[in-house]
């Protein structure tokens, strides 16, 4: 299972949809997110996600991230 629990801070707001269970930390507050759940990270807040089982996160940024489009 991939680890995705590094903290980061972005300049764009993001919306995430979970396919699997994840532990989500936003601005020092941690909660467990069940499969089918979602969360919003406002711009400028420190955040991170840890996979608790095999799964995927679907991220949506606004405005779009050109660096992701080139992958």
Global pTM?
0.75
pLDDT digit string (tens) for 26-65? 999 999 999 999 999 988 888 899 999 999 999 887 777 7
Burial 55-67 (b: 16+ CB within 10 A, else e): bebeeeeeeeeee
The pLDDT value given to residue 71: 62
Cβ atoms of 40 and 18 closer than 8 Å: no
Question: Whose CA is closest to 52, among 29, 33, 37?
Answer: 33
- The answer, yes or no, to whether residue 2 has pLDDT greater than 50, is no
CATH number corresponding to 8-69: 2.60.120.10
């Amino acid at each position: 299972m991939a680890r995705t629990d590094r903290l980061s801070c972005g300049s764009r707001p993001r919306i995430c949809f979970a396919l699997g269970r994840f532990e989500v930390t936003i601005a020092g507050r941690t909660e467990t997110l069940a499969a089918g759940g979602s969360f919003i990270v406002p711009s400028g807040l420190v955040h991170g996600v840890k996979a608790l089982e095999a799964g995927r996160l679907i991220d949506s940024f606004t405005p779009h991230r050109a660096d992701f489009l080139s992958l």
